[in-house]
Amino acid sequence: MSGQRVRVASAADVPPGGSCLVQVDGKDVALFNVDGRFFAVGNRCPHRSGPLVRGRVEKIEEKCAVRCPLHGWLFDLESGRCLTRASATVPTFPVLCEEGQVLLGAQEGAYAGPSTLVPGS
């Protein structure tokens, strides 16, 4: 990951299966821990601003996706692309775990792959 990194949470605060709302550059970002892999996407659904942080995470083949809690649009957590409406996307943010802290890149759209939490780090 290049560029500025911002500490947004302790990894312990977002256990596997969990999510939380964080802020980067004044933007609301939904942070997800899927089996120890962290993903970060913009929190506002482009349909009607549903809070994606409250959505259910689903695994579809190799992909992890979040379903908007309001009307069910489904977003790939890696690319931010909507899997149910081809033209819709949400921004993604690079995630890094270091020494038990979750860091996000401040630039959206620079997805660098999910970060896996190393136990004890």
Distance, in Å, from the CA atom of 62 to the CA atom of 29, rounded to the nearest integer, reads: 23
Question: CA-based angle 118:120:121, to the nearest 5?
Answer: 60
**Smallest distance, ligand FES to C-beta of residue 73, A:** 4
Q: Among residues 27 and 106, whose Cβ is nearest to ligand FES?
A: 27
- Residue 75 as a binder of ligand FES (CB under 6 A): the answer is no
- Residue 73 as a binder of ligand FES (CB under 6 A): the answer is yes
**Smallest distance, ligand FES to C-beta of residue 94, A:** 24
Instruction: Choose, by CB under 6 A, the member of 7, 71, 98, 113 that binds ligand FES.
Output: 71
Q: Among residues 39 and 73, whose Cβ is nearest to ligand FES?
A: 73
- Residue 56 as a binder of ligand FES (CB under 6 A): the answer is no
- Residue 50 as a binder of ligand FES (CB under 6 A): the answer is yes
The residues that touch ligand FES, with contacts defined as CB under 6 A, are 45, 47-48, 50, 68, 70-73
